[in-house]
């Protein structure tokens, strides 16, 4: 029985390493009855066959309570049991490998250990959610690095994400803020070439300014940018050279300083101005 859920929100519980399956199942049931929203099965010490059997029994309980089950670092178990998704750590499978094996509909999370560089890597590789670290000491993972709420806020502030707070779900963000996350993911590895296809379409004024500023910054750092847009103001604001395609035919490129909006508008409607512009 596959469970789908539009957001990861609320109490995210993680199982301890427990050899006694009966005790573990009681703990899982207690958590479900206590109101958790999602459960991760995590065991680093047990043999694979034992982990598979435990995960099967746990899934029966989580299915009963309609609670999504995440498997820690085991693509095979995730596939065999058709669980909600997988969680990856520092030494686990890569996000790309997991996505290739599991497909687009499974949720993939990544531990970031209180490190912004891992956050950027997770965003760049299209993780569905990130775990920065434990906010408080935990007996389950006594050596886990402690992450402060200030660190969570820094990540939000760095990418200018407008949300309700440090615990907001990405999927609940507005279109403009999701656009910022996508842009941050795309630009965080300093690409040499960027294709920006209508990057500000449908955004409010503040989000448009942010997106355009990020594209200009990338260009200043040496990236080549191909902007595809029907917004003439945006084209003239961002472009050094302009080319127009109409009915499969290309005019240009022309230096932006040699054009005006009326001329570009005429070319967009099919008028041939290339010869007269070249002569000028």
Instruction: Find out whether 25 and 61 touch, Cβ atoms under 8 Å.
Output: yes
Taking residues 117-143, report their average pLDDT. Answer: 78
Q: Which residues pair with 254 in a beta bridge?
A: 242
Read off the pLDDT of residues 48-62 as tens digits, 9 standing for 90 and up: 999 999 999 999 999
Confidence of residue 204 (pLDDT cuts 50, 70, 90): confident
CA distances from 224 to 129, 180, 258 (A): 30, 20, 21
Cα(43)–Cα(15) distance, rounded to whole angstroms?
8
Question: Which tens digits make up the pLDDT trace of 114-126?
Answer: 777 788 888 888 8
Phi, psi for 194 (deg, rounded to 5): -125, 130
| Sign (positive or negative) of CA dihedral 16, 19, 24, 25 | positive
Q: What number of other Cβ atoms are within 10 A of residue 48's Cβ?
A: 11
Q: What domains can be seen in the chain, in order of their start residue? A: 1-111 (3.20.20.70), 181-279 (3.40.50.300)
**Structural contact between residues 68 and 85, judged by C-beta atoms closer than 8 angstroms:** yes
pTM: 0.55
Give the 3-state secondary structure of 126-154: CCCEEECCECCCCCCCCCCCECCHHHHHH
């Amino acid at each position: 029985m596959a469970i789908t859920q539009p957001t990861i929100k609320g109490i995210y519980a993680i199982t301890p390493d427990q050899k006694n399956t009966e005790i573990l199942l009681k703990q899982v049931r207690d958590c479900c009855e206590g109101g958790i929203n999602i459960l991760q099965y995590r065991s680093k010490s047990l043999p694979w066959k034992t982990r598979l059997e435990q995960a099967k029994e746990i899934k029966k309980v989580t299915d009963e309570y309609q609670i999504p089950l995440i498997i820690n670092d085991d693509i095979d178990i995730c596939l065999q049991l058709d669980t909600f998704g997988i969680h990856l750590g520092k030494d686990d499978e890569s996000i790309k490998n997991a996505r290739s094996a599991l497909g687009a509909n499974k949720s993939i999370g990544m531990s970031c250990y209180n490190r912004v560089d891992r956050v950027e890597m997770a965003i760049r590789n299209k993780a569905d959610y990130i775990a920065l670290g434990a906010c408080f000491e935990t007996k389950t993972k006594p050596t886990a690095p402690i992450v402060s709420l200030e660190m969570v806020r820094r990540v939000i502030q760095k990418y200018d994400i407008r949300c309700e707070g440090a615990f907001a779900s990405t999927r609940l963000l507005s279109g403009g803020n999701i656009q910022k996350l996508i842009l941050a993911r795309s630009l965080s590895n300093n690409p040499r070439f960027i294709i920006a296809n209508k990057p500000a379409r449908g955004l409010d004024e503040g989000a448009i300014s942010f997106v355009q500023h990020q594209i200009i910054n990338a260009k200043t750092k040496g990236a080549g940018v191909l902007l595809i847009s029907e917004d003439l103001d945006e084209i003239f604001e961002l472009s050094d050279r302009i080319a127009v395609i109409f009915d499969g035919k290309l005019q240009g490129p022309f230096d932006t300083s040699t054009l005006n909006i009326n001329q570009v508008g005429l070319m967009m409607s099919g008028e041939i101005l290339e010869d007269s512009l070249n002569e000028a």
